[in-house]
Structure 1
Amino acid sequence: MRIRPSLLARTLLGSALLAAVAAPASAQDKIKVGFMLPYTGTFAALGTAIENGFRQYIDEQGGKLAGKTVEFVKVDDESDPAKAVDNVNKLIKRDNVDVLIGTVHSGVAMGMAKVAKETGTLMIDPNAGADAVTGPMCALNIFRSSFSNWQPGYAMGKVAADRKIRTAVTLTWKYAAGDESVNGFKEAFTKAGGKIVKDLTLPFPNVEFQALLTEIAALKPDAVYTFFAGGGAVKFVKDWAAAGLGSSIRLIGAGFLTDGTLEAQGAAAEGLLTTLHYGDSLNTPRDNAFRLDYAKTYKLQPDVYAMQGYDAAQMLADGVNAVKGDMKQRDALVKAIESAKIDSPRGAFTLSRAHNPVQDIYLRKVSGKVNRNVGIAVKGLADPARGCRL
């Protein structure tokens, strides 16, 4: 059970947070945003999409929040957890940023969250789903605009059970995001009577799948649940199709398997079912406007990563506007973000006590080059935030 402190205790926590780090000099006339994202390697396209989405929202505000110019500083995190602490300290100590925006890789996000918690620096996680960021590592100054790894995994476990899938193999890279996504799937799937035949992994970012596909063919499960993203997802889906397993085994996964990857996957992805907090065919006025503006600006269709970046900027704006641009009012800024209802392209969402989105998880089916929404897998799904003590 999570402990909820009294208002007085939360006020004291907020005061400690404010005192933990001196307000940067830049806060007087501008708001300094530090992007710590992958700009090279497997997740490079994802980092770029997050930055694009964030900048789109800021541009819609005329490049300012509460009348203050927004300035950007960038660090390539290289999806390398070993470099996370040094990289985040560059942004905090060298560049004096007011807010950290990052990242994609869950292992890197854990390093970011550790430093953000220690220094009191405001952090908004626009992708990495590491459960611990809004679990044991939760803090008043740490927020997420995306998802926890548990959320889409749990939703797909429920979908699989509802569709009478009885046996499943799980397959992912051996790292935090993969482990936590698989655990979410297994929690819902086994609770409904499903059986996990075997958990298969390979080191990140290895993409040599052939031996694993051979093993899956021998195991003959009803379905394979996967967690891959970026270039790895492209390679896996193509290898899966080439192996011809789809005629007898259902391939399902967290939505990152097919989000931002369909162009490269081509016909190999046709018909795949995934669960995620966004889709390509929501067809709401809010989402249609977002997608049109993004396509005009960047000559690309937006994906879940762009949307999460966009919403990270919205969350920051809610806080900044509440304090009229005075970043020294950290406690009031944090409380404003906590209580915000975000008018997201995915559909409006609120934040849990642990600062993770409480949101609908969609079931999507690949049709052509679109992750078509075919319904809501779980409505208003809140991450359990196990270990959070806010």
Structure 2
Amino acid sequence: MKRRTALTLALSSVASRARAAEPIKIGALLSYSGVFASIGDEITNAMQLAFDHAGGTVAGRPITIVRADTEVRPNVALTKARELVGSDRVDLLVGPVSSSESIPLRDFAHQRRIPLIMPHAALDNLFGERCSPYILRTSFSGNQFGRPMAAWLAQRGVRTITLMAPDYVGPRDLMEKFEAEFTRQGGQIVGREFTPFQRTHDFGPYLARVKQQRPDATWVSYGGAEAINFVRQAADFRLSEATRVTGSGWTVSPLVLPAQGDAALGFQGLLNYAPSIDTPENRRFQADYRSRHGRTASEFGAQGYDTGLFIAAALRALDGRTDDKLALARAIRDARIVGARGPARIDPATNNIVQNMYIVEVRRGSNGPELAVLDTMPAVTDEPNGCQMRLEG
């Protein structure tokens, strides 16, 4: 009996050490090609930096990232998710970039009961009526980007606005949130311009209509290459002489600002991050990111970095155990971090991030245009909006 007990303990010890040596696999389900390739790369690079800052291992298990390119196509995203979970046997998923990909990925993760952390795009109803205990958002909500900016502009005398964005689900959702708050504040929307996504190279006809409408401000939301083209062409059209140019801050993200140059000067927007945030955590993040990648990290990098901090905190709380996926999702939800963006947590009522939001303006700096923080809205959250955390459905 004693020999059998000793043998059992020895085998258990060997199995425990074997489990400890197994890597913790993070499935990065992001865009690594196409219009959002730079965003996917930056989120991944910054998330890796967060894991390195956390020591790179938890309970003897190294943290590794397994990349999968969604190609900004929902059907490809779903196929890659199945491969990551079924073949690569990842412990959790991080993604996507495009909002259009988030719908099938939400259903897949919920049905397979595997945590899915959304570090950039996601529709608000995925954290409202379609919320899931397995789906968490570390980026932002449409309300977080829409409401504060709309109120801020209205309080500063803006009464009429034209809205302009690419024609797909994410920007439309964000535009609706902005419009609802702006009209509630007594403002009027005098025009809406939707440009074909990834197919608009000449913004001239749209800019001409905006100038004819002569709104107090024009609110826009573009990203990546489209943001570069829009800002350059808006400057050529002297749009800022006819209207105040504002919008979502990623239109002038540090990721695209160097290419926009002086054309972006004066743009005012709302972001959940600015490189100029003066905290020890952000200074360390920026210094190490610049050392590795030779440039300033953007809000996309900050979202990736803070996502990595949430994951690392959850893994430490569980002593590196990842077999219970619901416990892993709840540990991420319960984590509290102070990251590049400042203090952040996940609201248990919605699984949406609670974070500071910043009004920024593009100004001329010592090394070219840069984002200056004009105002801070602390701990911006969302109402539950119909969310009930069900394991089924």
Give TM-score, length-normalised by structure 1: 0.90
SS in 1 for 2:337: coil
Aligned-partner Cα distance in 1 for 2:300–2:340: 12
- 1:16 aligned partner: none
SS in 2 for 1:42: helix
- 2:11 aligned partner: none
In the TM superposition, residue 26 of structure 1 has moved relative to its aligned partner by 8.0
The answer (yes or no) to whether the contact 1:314–1:342 under 8 Å persists in 2 is: yes
| Correspondent of 1:344 among 304, 328, 339 | 339
Per the alignment, do residues 29 and 82 of structure 1 end up closer, same or farther by CA in structure 2, a change over 3 Å counting? closer
SS in 2 for 1:342: strand
- 2:3 aligned partner: none
- 2:308 aligned partner: 313
Deviates more, 1:362-371 or 1:378-387: 378-387
- 2:378 aligned partner: 379
Amino acid at match of 1:370: E
Aligned-partner Cα distance in 2 for 1:177–1:331: 28
Are residues 1:178 and 2:168 paired? no
Deviates more, 1:366-375 or 1:325-334: 325-334
Amino acid at match of 1:380: A
Aligned-partner Cα distance in 2 for 1:226–1:267: 18
The answer (yes or no) to whether the contact 2:69–2:77 under 8 Å persists in 1 is: no
In the TM superposition, residue 262 of structure 1 has moved relative to its aligned partner by 0.5
In the TM superposition, residue 174 of structure 1 has moved relative to its aligned partner by 1.3
The answer (yes or no) to whether the contact 1:27–1:327 under 8 Å persists in 2 is: no
- 1:120 aligned partner: 113
In the TM superposition, residue 74 of structure 1 has moved relative to its aligned partner by 1.2
Are residues 1:233 and 2:233 paired? no
Map Cα deviations across residues 85-111 of structure 1 (whole Å, 9 max, x no partner).
212111111211111111110111222
The answer (yes or no) to whether the contact 2:95–2:119 under 8 Å persists in 1 is: yes
Amino acid at match of 2:385: R
Are residues 1:262 and 2:261 paired? no
- 1:165 aligned partner: 158
- 1:209 aligned partner: 203
SS in 2 for 1:325: coil
Alignment of 1:3-22 (within 5 A): none
The answer (yes or no) to whether the contact 2:36–2:224 under 8 Å persists in 1 is: yes
Deviates more, 1:132-141 or 1:102-111: 132-141
Amino acid at match of 2:352: N
The answer (yes or no) to whether the contact 1:150–1:183 under 8 Å persists in 2 is: no
SS in 2 for 1:387: coil
| Correspondent of 1:245 among 214, 239, 248 | 239
Amino acid at match of 1:375: D
Per the alignment, do residues 388 and 26 of structure 1 end up closer, same or farther by CA in structure 2, a change over 3 Å counting? farther
SS in 2 for 1:232: helix
In the TM superposition, residue 267 of structure 1 has moved relative to its aligned partner by 0.4
- 2:146 aligned partner: 153
Amino acid at match of 1:214: A
Deviates more, 1:172-181 or 1:82-91: 82-91
Are residues 1:43 and 2:36 paired? yes
Are residues 1:284 and 2:279 paired? yes
Could you tell me which runs of 5 or more consecutive residues in structure 2 were left unpaired when the two chains were aligned: 1-17
In the TM superposition, residue 362 of structure 1 has moved relative to its aligned partner by 0.5
- 2:298 aligned partner: 303
Are residues 1:364 and 2:329 paired? no
The answer (yes or no) to whether the contact 1:131–1:385 under 8 Å persists in 2 is: no
- 2:9 aligned partner: none
Aligned-partner Cα distance in 2 for 1:103–1:26: 29
In the TM superposition, residue 181 of structure 1 has moved relative to its aligned partner by 1.2
In the TM superposition, residue 329 of structure 1 has moved relative to its aligned partner by 3.1
- 2:10 aligned partner: none
Aligned-partner Cα distance in 1 for 2:54–2:339: 16
- 1:143 aligned partner: 136
Q: Which runs of 4+ in 1 moved over 6 A?
A: 25-28
Aligned-partner Cα distance in 2 for 1:77–1:94: 16
Map Cα deviations across residues 156-183 of structure 1 (whole Å, 9 max, x no partner).
1111101110000101111121111111
Give TM-score, length-normalised by structure 2: 0.89
Map Cα deviations across residues 307-363 of structure 1 (whole Å, 9 max, x no partner).
111111111112211111111233433332222212111110121121111112110
Identity value in percent = 31
Map Cα deviations across residues 126-166 of structure 1 (whole Å, 9 max, x no partner).
11142123223321111111101221122211111011100
SS in 1 for 2:343: coil
In the TM superposition, residue 81 of structure 1 has moved relative to its aligned partner by 2.0
Deviates more, 1:327-336 or 1:191-200: 327-336
Aligned-partner Cα distance in 2 for 1:327–1:189: 44
Aligned-partner Cα distance in 2 for 1:27–1:150: 42
Alignment of 1:101-120 (within 5 A): 101-120=94-113
Aligned-partner Cα distance in 1 for 2:125–2:273: 22
Aligned-partner Cα distance in 2 for 1:279–1:48: 19
CA RMSD of aligned residues (A): 1.6
SS in 2 for 1:75: strand
Point out which structure has higher relative CO (alpha carbons under 8 A, 6+ apart). 1
The answer (yes or no) to whether the contact 1:173–1:202 under 8 Å persists in 2 is: yes
Aligned-partner Cα distance in 2 for 1:295–1:385: 38
Could you tell me which runs of 5 or more consecutive residues in structure 1 were left unpaired when the two chains were aligned: 1-24
The answer (yes or no) to whether the contact 2:191–2:210 under 8 Å persists in 1 is: no
In the TM superposition, residue 63 of structure 1 has moved relative to its aligned partner by 2.1
Per the alignment, do residues 48 and 40 of structure 1 end up closer, same or farther by CA in structure 2, a change over 3 Å counting? same
Alignment of 1:192-203 (within 5 A): 192-203=185-196
